[in-house]
Amino acid sequence: MQAKLPDINHIWIRWRNYGIQCIDQRNYKGSAGAVMEMNALFTDDYRIEISTKKYEQLRANSIMIVCPKCSEQYINHETRKFDLLLPHLDSVLANQKTKVSWKCSKCKNINFLSDSKIIATEHQNPFYFKVIRDPPERHGTIDRMGWHEKWQVWFFNAMEELEHQLGRYRAEYQAQEESGEMIEEGSENAD
């Protein structure tokens, strides 16, 4: 296992430098390939998932809705919303026939979304999900403006997540190595 970490470091640096060089040269496929290759160096325990859907879901899970009656909190995107038909007088006063509502599963109260407190959990910055978005896709010439900047944001967010995982891997590798040395030292003293 001792030889494994230096090999990963050498290859890691090569792919990181290649990815940054590709960004400078606007070689988007090359920079995406560098991210994929760096991720492939990890074992399953450290490998990051590449999924825009899961990334957005993890971010959405941090937005909570609070029941005004019982103060129970729910994940906002998992709460079923519906249009509630308003009584005639309320409809005239609000100048609308319906209002977006939701039902609290704890107290069974029907709440108007507009009257409910929304809490967005702020993750400590930086925050790592162990998931990154899929690489951006071009859709014709419409998104030509700002494409390079959009790609850079994706690339460097991916690099940050990868570097975090590498840091975890190094720390755990070092801890294993130190505990292995301690076992060897203890066994030498026993003889």
Look at the chain and report how many structural domains it folds into: 2
The reply to whether 89 falls in a domain is yes
Domain match, 70 and 114 both: yes
Strands (E), 1-94: 49-50, 63-66, 73-75, 81-85
Domain match, 139 and 105 both: no
Predicted model pTM: 0.60
Q: How far apart are the first and last CA of the chain?
A: 25
Supply 130's token pair.
Answer: 């162990």
Spatial contact of 129 and 53, defined as CB atoms under 8 Å apart: no
What stretch of H or E contains 101? Answer: strand 98-103
Please name the amino acid found at residue 140: G
The domain of 94 spans 63-120
Spatial contact of 116 and 101, defined as CB atoms under 8 Å apart: no
Q: What is the pLDDT along the chain (191 residues), one digit of tens a residue?
A: 444 555 678 888 999 999 999 999 999 999 999 999 999 998 888 999 999 888 887 776 668 899 999 999 888 878 899 998 988 888 888 788 988 999 999 999 999 988 899 887 665 556 778 999 999 887 766 566 788 898 999 999 999 999 999 888 888 877 777 776 534 434 444 44
pLDDT of residue 142: 57
Based on its alpha-carbon atoms, the radius of gyration of the chain, rounded to whole angstroms, reads: 25
The reply to whether 187 falls in a domain is no
What is the separation of C-alpha 131 from the centre of its chain, rounded to a whole number of angstroms?
5
User: 155: Cβ–Cβ under 8 A, 6 or more apart, which residues?
Assistant: 19, 23, 31, 32, 35
CA 131 – CA 135 distance, rounded (Å): 12
The reply to whether 28 falls in a domain is yes
Domain match, 42 and 19 both: yes
The reply to whether 105 falls in a domain is yes
pLDDT of residue 108: 93
Phi-psi label, residue 117: left if phi above 0, alpha if psi -120 to 50, beta otherwise: beta
Supply 155's token pair.
Answer: 């690339």
Domain match, 51 and 73 both: no
